[in-house]
Chains A and B, each alone.
Chain A
Amino acid sequence: MVNPEAVLSSRNVSLWYGETRALNQVSMDIPERQVTAIIGPSGCGKSTYLKTINRMTELNSSVKIDGLIQFRTKPVQHYDVVELRRRVGMVFQKPNPFPKSIYDNVVFGLRLLGRRRKSELDRIAEMSLRRAALWDEVKDRLRDSAMGLSGGQQQRLCIARALAVGPEVLLMDEPCSALDPVATAKIEDLIFELKQEYTIVVVTHNMQQAARISDRTAFFLTASLIEYDQTKRIFENPRDKRTEDYITGRFG
């Protein structure tokens, strides 16, 4: 029933915040080393779906979840949550670096894992910052506060921070919505680079962005997955009338 090719597979996932249903019977398979975009109007459940994957929704005690999300070989509930979140990294809508130095931000996750050797931390920090295309801009001021960086740099720092613990999947929750066009372009280039090595799921309200960067696109509406297919197909020849209406800008 679950697609063995997929990194992440969900089947009939429903979620309630108290009495409000935020996800309704969502089933989708996310393939490895591709960018999957999730689009839809505000409140359609796209961010909730993302946060259900790495079990961030559990932090809210009034949440009830039904259905199955499988990561690799077993359901996410069967993982130790720490291991799950290490292997499935997340980047948030608003850049949220910790008010510490740039270096301390990048190695925070490693230190949690008990890595203490300075040479190892230095090596991984440099590698992660390079992958996040930030190294050249910050290599001379690793000890400065991360709060002094620009918004776009902060967001790339958050990506580097997530990469440092060696994830297989990166979940990105509207990673560019707080950024200007130049910074957005840099993040988009970065996403394109990163998919060589990582499976990326990106929630966005920006349809051009989804069209530019993703291989597959899922369209959510009022808590349900309406359509999920190759991005090209979704944008050029949607099957569902509601997808077409949304993409052509008739609502949302």
Chain B
Amino acid sequence: MKSVHHGFHWTAAKDRLIAVLLLLVALLTVVFLMLILGFLITRSFPALKEVGLWEFLAGSRWMPSSRTPGYGASRMIYGSFMVAAGALALPVPWGLAIAIYISELAPKPVREVLKPALETLAIFPSVVLGFVGLVLLAPWIARVFDLAHGLTALTGVIMLSIMALPTIVSIAEDAIGSVPQEYREASYALGANKMETILQVVIPAARSGITASIMLGFGRAIGETMTLLMVAGNALSLPVTRVWGVPIPDFLRSVRTLTATIAIEGLDVPWGSLHYHALFVIGTILFTFTFVINLLTDWVLHRWRVED
């Protein structure tokens, strides 16, 4: 009996040991995030010291391999935001409509086809979508708008819209699905029809989750690389048109994003050169944008849970 008793305590000690080991493994995620952040910052530092953060954020001349190099990334920042913002115009209403259909209208068998189909769309490699955009959409854009080539911001926006769609649908659908059934019943009981119930009761009740889905879609679009690299043309000129002297974004011109810049230049750049460090500055800027978007999304989602 005594030895059995002893054995039990040994089991408990083993259990505590396992708990500690599991904690250490789980903490690796924090370590990785810190490593990413640490590498971005320390590798950025030489370039920031030499060039200055302001030049990166505000300068418009990006010529890292010129004899008189320029490190202004403002056009790429502008390009990233322009494309990502443009890529919300279509998938937000479209995605919302799909989410409404799936959670409010679709018969079960249809839903069981639709959801896997969207999951499949989410898993399409971005390089394949880029390829489709390149050989199918770009020539079409060129013809329709009478352009020399179809590698434009618009082409990128359309392909990005398709990529952002599944993200927006799945989170918006979660949000709409978690609206209590009683809300709908109360609305019907007051004589509202299906449309009024959806638009005036369900959607407002799910607005935090819907907002979060839009923000995550935006974050995904800012971070997307291959599709834009392949279809957006990557020109360094500023894609704006002046209408009565007011500059407005021109989606029919080629655009270069932050992500594309790293992908284009990262392969050949000599390690340790100023250019190499400058690319880490671009990476840090990208990381900061997505980090802030994530934090905001978190905050919005948290508020949504608290509201419940």
Contacts and interface: CB of A to CB of B under 8 A. Distances in A.
Query: Do A and B share a complex?
Result: yes
Contacts of B12: 80-82
Interface string A112-125: 01100000000000
B5 interface: yes
Contacts of A80: 5, 8-9, 12
Nearest to A83: B8
B176 to A, nearest CB: 31
Nearest to A112: B11
B7 interface: yes
A61 B9 CA distance: 21
A85 to B, nearest CB: 10
Interface residues of A, number: 6
A35 to B, nearest CB: 28
Q: Quick one: which of B5, B9, B11 has the most chain A CB within 10 A? A: B11
A80 B11 CA distance: 10
B234 to A, nearest CB: 53
B33 to A, nearest CB: 25
A83 to B, nearest CB: 5
Interface residues of B, number: 7
B56 to A, nearest CB: 46
Interface in B5-19: 5, 7-9, 11-12
Nearest to B15: A82
A83 B3 CA distance: 12
Interface in A97-142: 113-114
B24 to A, nearest CB: 20
Nearest to B5: A83
Contacts of B7: 114
Contacts of B8: 80, 82-83
Interface in B216-234: none
Contacts of B11: 82
A55 to B, nearest CB: 12
Interface string A12-25: 00000000000000
Contacts of A81: 12
A114 B4 CA distance: 10
A114 B14 CA distance: 15
A232 B12 CA distance: 43
A168 to B, nearest CB: 14
Nearest to B11: A82
Nearest to A113: B4
Interface in B83-132: none
A217 B181 CA distance: 42
Q: Quick one: which of A80, A82, A114 has the most chain B CB within 10 A? A: A80
A81 B11 CA distance: 10
Contacts of B5: 80, 83
A123 B8 CA distance: 23
Nearest to B13: A80
Nearest to A84: B8
Q: Quick one: which of A81, A83, A114 has the most chain B CB within 10 A? A: A83
Interface in A37-67: none
Interface string B1-39: 000110111011000000000000000000000000000
Contacts of A113: 4
A97 to B, nearest CB: 24
Interface in B161-180: none
Interface string B186-203: 000000000000000000
Contacts of A114: 7
Contacts of B4: 113
A81 B8 CA distance: 9
Nearest to A80: B8
Contacts of A83: 5, 8
A84 B179 CA distance: 44
A51 B176 CA distance: 38
A81 B13 CA distance: 12
A91 B301 CA distance: 39
A188 B2 CA distance: 36
B18 to A, nearest CB: 14
Nearest to B7: A114
B7 to A, nearest CB: 7
Interface in A67-81: 80-81
A166 to B, nearest CB: 11
A113 B11 CA distance: 10
Closest 10 CB pairs of A and B: A80-B8, A82-B8, A83-B8, A80-B9, A80-B12, A82-B11, A82-B12, A83-B5, A81-B12, A80-B5
12 contacts: A80-B5, A80-B8, A80-B9, A80-B12, A81-B12, A82-B8, A82-B11, A82-B12, A83-B5, A83-B8, A113-B4, A114-B7
Given A80-B9, A81-B12, A83-B5, 4 more contacts: A80-B12, A83-B8, A113-B4, A114-B7
